[in-house]
């Protein structure tokens, strides 16, 4: 697992599910959402919630698949990790 924590651009569908990711001048197409969860540490300090999503994505059909963990905090998406 490689920690990234870099802002990324994400296109979503009408239910706020990622469909395309733009990272390092590449466009990744999401083929599956593998998992989703919400994290809100320090709720007593009103820390903002993060919606995490683990996706399966590739550059093109037939290319190697990558598992990417990203999160939405407010209106900003961040690529958290690349999962091996």
pLDDT tens, position by position, 65-81? 999 999 998 899 999 99
Q: What is the mean pLDDT of the chain?
A: 90
Q: Is the pLDDT of residue 61 over 70?
A: no
CA 37 to chain centre: 11
Q: Is the pLDDT of residue 27 over 90?
A: yes
Least confident of 26-30, 42-46, 72-76: 42-46
pLDDT-based confidence at residue 49 (cuts at 50, 70, 90) = confident
The single residue listed with the structure tokens 């540490």 is 41
Q: To 5 degrees, how large is the angle CA 15–CA 55–CA 80?
A: 105
Q: Report the C-alpha gap between 80 and 50 in whole angstroms.
A: 11
Sign of CA dihedral 36, 81, 41, 20: negative
Domain ranges of the chain: 2-83
Q: Is the pLDDT of residue 29 over 70?
A: yes
- At a CB cut-off of 8 Å and minimum separation 6, what does 84 contact? 1, 2, 67
């Amino acid at each position: 697992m490689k920690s990234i924590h870099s802002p990324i651009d994400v296109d979503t569908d009408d239910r706020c599910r990622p469909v395309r990711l733009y990272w390092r001048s590449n466009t990744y197409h999401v083929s599956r959402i593998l998992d989703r969860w919400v994290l809100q540490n320090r709720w007593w300090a009103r820390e903002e919630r993060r919606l995490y999503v683990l996706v399966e994505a590739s550059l093109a059909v037939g290319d190697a698949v990558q598992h990417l963990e990203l999160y939405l905090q407010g209106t900003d998406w961040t690529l958290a990790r690349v999962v091996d």
